[in-house]
Amino acid sequence: MGVKNDLIYIEGMTKTYGVSGSHNIVALNNISFSLSRGANSILGPNGAGKSTLIKVLLGYIKADSGEAQVLGYDIKSEGRKIKEFIGYMPEHYTIIPGVNAVKQVSLLGKIAGLPAAEAMQRAHETLQYVGLDEARYRKVNEFSTGMLQRLKLAQALVNDPELLILDEPTNGLDPRGRIDMIDLIREISQDHSINLLISSHLLPDIEATCEFATILDRGHFVTQGRIDDLTGQEAGSAENRMMNIQIKGSLNDFLGGLRKQGLTFEVIDKVIQVPYSGESPAQSIIQIAYDTNTQIRSMTPRKAILEDVFIHQIEGAENKQAIGGKN
């Protein structure tokens, strides 16, 4: 089995969903990998198996076969221990109508094993931490998506976890909310030295928050490593590169500027991707931002190869090519 020091250790994990009247879906296909302590991510397009993997690790669903340890605890026999040391922000979320934020978070604290008084105190602390102190006594069913994501995060932090697992934390957020959430996650991982496991289909969000990525694709393990190495920002030739840009301001104006300069682009979840070979388009892009009165929030060159997995699958193209997907 795994090394005691591993954050997570997974060996031969397979999970199949039976679908009536149809063939089975292999959500996890003989997955094996381990993660060290630090800021980790599971990256992959929708349907890759990210949420399934997280739920298996937390004991919410059972795998067909395979072994795993989380923080050195076995997922089959020590699930209770795992839940004690983990904070989990689920992808989908059921709120309790009519209940206020403090109540909701403290309730989850109690479920996580905290005594009532401590759960209440932690609820106040974590709600303040995620910027919901003003909304503490408001009913959660009146919360906006952005507030709900924060509430979920507060809940995940309530038991002061050793490992924080966030399943698509930026889903459904507008650009402003997304930036705030990313900043918050960075702050948590840096200030509190909590280990992270973030799942996302958005490479830029993972780059902003994590050091390591494990890439899944249609239930298969694809590759794993430091994100810098995977995206090849530093090294490599200038062939088949991609400039990923995030802006503040009018997207339409900025895209119009790109068009005028003869640059092609795709916009995936608010990230503008400009493919290029040879000379970097950075200077032109800065000029376009200036001319269109928009602000560049980030601009990152990378190898196009990693993007391929995401772009083609997010768009749901049938003919997409998995990179190294043979495992």
Tokens 């209940």 — which residue? 99
Q: Is 90 in the site for ligand ADP (CB under 6 A)?
A: no
Beta strands in the chain (DSSP E): 8-17, 25-35, 39-43, 65-70, 73-74, 86-89, 163-167, 195-200, 212-217, 220-226, 241-248, 266-268, 271-276, 295-303
**CA 326 remoteness from chain centre:** 24
- CA nearest neighbour of 82 among 171, 187, 7, 157: 7
Q: Is 66 in the site for ligand ADP (CB under 6 A)?
A: no
With CB atoms as reference, the residue minimizing the distance to Mg ion is 51
- In the complex with Mg ion, the residue whose CB is nearer, 166 or 179, is 166
Q: Is 171 in the site for Mg ion (CB under 5 A)?
A: no
Q: Is 149 in the site for Mg ion (CB under 5 A)?
A: no
- In the complex with Mg ion, the residue whose CB is nearer, 123 or 202, is 202
Q: Is 159 in the site for Mg ion (CB under 5 A)?
A: no
Between CA 28 and CA 36, with CA 33 as vertex, the angle to 5 degrees is 135
Sign for the pseudo-dihedral over CA of 199, 131, 87, 183: positive
Q: Is 52 in the site for Mg ion (CB under 5 A)?
A: no
Write the interaction track for ligand ADP spanning residues 3-42; mark x where CB under 6 A is met and - where it is not. Answer: --------------x-x-----x-x---------------
Which of 7, 44, 49, 51 touches Mg ion (CB under 5 A)?
A: 51
**CA 18 remoteness from chain centre:** 26
Q: Is 72 in the site for ligand ADP (CB under 6 A)?
A: no
Window contacting Mg ion (CB under 5 A); options: 91-99, 111-119, 145-153, 291-299: 91-99
Q: Is 200 in the site for Mg ion (CB under 5 A)?
A: no
Q: Is 320 in the site for ligand ADP (CB under 6 A)?
A: no
Tokens 């309790």 — which residue? 96
**CA 73 remoteness from chain centre:** 23
Interacting residues with ligand ADP (CB under 6 A)? 17, 19, 25, 27, 44, 46-52
Interacting residues with Mg ion (CB under 5 A)? 50-51, 91
